[in-house]
Amino acid sequence: MIFKKGIKVMKRFIAALLCVIILLCAASCEIGKDGADAENGESESSYVSAEDAAKVVVGTGGYSVTLAEFRCLFNTVYNQWLSSWQSAYGSEYSTYLSSMLGFDISKPLKEQMLTDSSQTYLEYFISRTKQQAKTMLLLCEWADENGVSLSDSDLQSVESDVSSYVTAASANDQTIAELLGDSMGVITEDVIREYRKKDMLAQKAANKLMETYKFSDEEIDEEFNENLTNYGYVDFLVYTFSKSDSVSAESAKKYAEELSAVKSADEFKSYVENYYRNILNAGKTAIAAFDPSTLEKNNVTYAEDTDYLEWMFKEGKVGECFVSSDDENAAYSVFFLLSEPGENEYDLKNVRHILFKTSSYDTAEEAKAEAERVYGIFKEDPTEDNFAKLANEYSEDRASEDAEKTDGGLIEDIDYGQLVSEFEDWAFDDARQPGDTDIIRTTYGYHIMYFSGNGEHVRKGHDNALYELTRISYNADLERIENDHEVTYDDAVLELMNV
């Protein structure tokens, strides 16, 4: 699919608070595989015996996690961490990991230290895995005490997951451990099955537990209004004057002082445009057109120790200016506050599309020509039903290679940041109306677009306030459950972890 699926607030709570992922994410499990161990030819000598693999490392009385199951969860924790970087930086994530954290995905975790040198990455991920194993087991205990159990359908789902790993391993002529890059050699079909049962039961318990949390609109409003630095958003104009060939340091400071005296947004924009044309670019015969929209920043959240945001969220009034000075570099930024800290609310979008991947054609022009041909077919009967039919027939945006349909090309409740930029810009165009169509190009290829209409109305700040209220209640419940169940660890067995 071309986008990261959005999730509703309560589903996001469960995913974030439970911190247990359904699948093991085999594609990312090659922990240190290309590093020192591989270079030294280590294989069987690093494997753990079946007896040690079955030893309990975390227990709560009624439930336990063996070393082999811990390895499954460890893979999940590690891959969740990697996925967060991949989501942020795409295919270049490993470069960013290296530059920001000094972390090399090809080297063994036990040979790399955190930036504060407090522990190795192996120790760090073991600690995180212990915490999540504890959470999973405590939720399983709560499930037993509150009548939550796995249904026949749940068990079938577990078997389906296990079968997928068995099939993949067989297709690659590997063991499951080899498929998952498990250098300990402890992950087997039975291990995945038992791990998944506990994982699924814990998720069902978390769902059930969160169904008990009921917060009134008044409670959410109160949390939001009392903590605007956590949940609020501001809009403002900003322009930076700095020393250049045509502007001295003293002049840059003077212009900033002059701009800070304006009383309206129009005055702010006019002053900057005049400065841009007649001072910064004085005497130049050809300059780019001035775009006042570049001055505006919308829906900006608070950041501690950022002088202009501290002012906006705690002291500033709409229509006032603030100057952030950097005398050492002769740079002076002037901010004009357009709105007090408040809510960021808008409608999500529902869009249908038909994708023609450029990678499926010899040239991009051929992909475009096919998109135009199908677009012409649609225009002969420009209805949403016909568009959906054509999407099922022609679109290459499918859940899998052998999928027969694309749900009519429908993507519902699109939020900001979920789509490639060109797709998102089209969907969120202020002028967009139901029934609008077009052809656009993205990094994936050419898309025939159909705007179905607005989706769910969201209030980001209030959603985050509800999230926080839920998090507080959830953590309090986990603490209560933990008080009723002694959690034990066998760190001696965990010393066998060799990734």
> Mind listing the pLDDT tens digit for each residue in 365-393?
999 999 999 999 999 999 999 999 999 99
* Every domain of the chain and the residues it spans: 9-212, 233-337, 347-460
210: left (phi over 0), alpha (psi -120 to 50) or beta: alpha
Weakest mean pLDDT among 13-27, 282-296, 374-388, 416-430: 13-27
- pTM for this one? 0.76
Task: Give the separation between CA 427 and CA 415, rounded to whole angstroms.
Answer: 10
How far, CA to CA in Å, does 272 sit from each of 48, 266, 275, 315? Answer: 68, 10, 5, 25
Tokens read off for 499: 């990734």
CATH number belonging to the domain at 347-460, selected among 3.10.50.40, 3.30.70.980, 3.30.2270.10, 1.20.120.420? 3.10.50.40
Kind plus residue range of the DSSP H or E element containing 407: none
Question: Which of 294 and 286 is assigned the larger pLDDT?
Answer: 294
For residues 406 and 392, the answer to whether their CB atoms sit within 8 Å is yes
CA-nearest of 363, 362, 365 to 373 is 365
Say whether 347-460 and 233-337 share the same fold. yes
Residue 442 pLDDT > 80: yes
Report the chain's mean pLDDT, rounded to a whole number: 89
Q: What is the pLDDT of residue 44?
A: 42
342: its two tokens: 């408040």
pLDDT for 15 equals: 52
What are the beta bridge partners of residue 394? none
CATH topology of domain 233-337: Chitinase A; domain 3 (3.10.50)
Per-residue pLDDT tens over the stretch 235-265: 999 999 999 888 999 999 999 999 999 999 9
pLDDT in tens, 479-489: 999 999 999 99
- Distance between CA atoms of 377 and 390, rounded to whole angstroms? 9
Q: pLDDT tens digits for 37-72? A: 433 333 444 688 999 999 999 999 999 999 999 999
